[in-house]
Copies of this chain bind each other. A is one copy, B any other.
Amino acid sequence: MELPDLMMVRTVLPWLDIAGIAIFAISGALAAARREQTIVTFTFFAAVTGTGGGTVRDLLIGAPVFWIHDNRALAVCLFAALAVWMTPRRIWPVKALEWFDGVGLAAYAVFGSWKALAYGVPPLGAAAMGVFTACLGGIIRDVLAGEPSILLRPELYVTAAALSAGLFVVLTLLGAPLLPAAGMAALAGFALRALAIHRGIALPSYRD
Contact = CB atoms under 8 A, between A and B. Distances in A.
Interface of A: 32-33, 35-42, 44, 47, 55, 59-62, 64-65, 67-71, 74-75, 78, 85, 88-90, 120-125, 128, 139, 143-149, 151-152, 154, 158-159, 162, 202-208
B158 A33 contact: no
A58 B138 CA distance: 23
Contact of A37 (B33, B36, B85, B205): B205
Top 3 A-B pairs, shortest CB-CB distance: A38-B203, A74-B124, A71-B124
B206 A125 contact: no
Contacts of A59: 59-60
Nearest to A58: B60
A203 B38 CA distance: 6
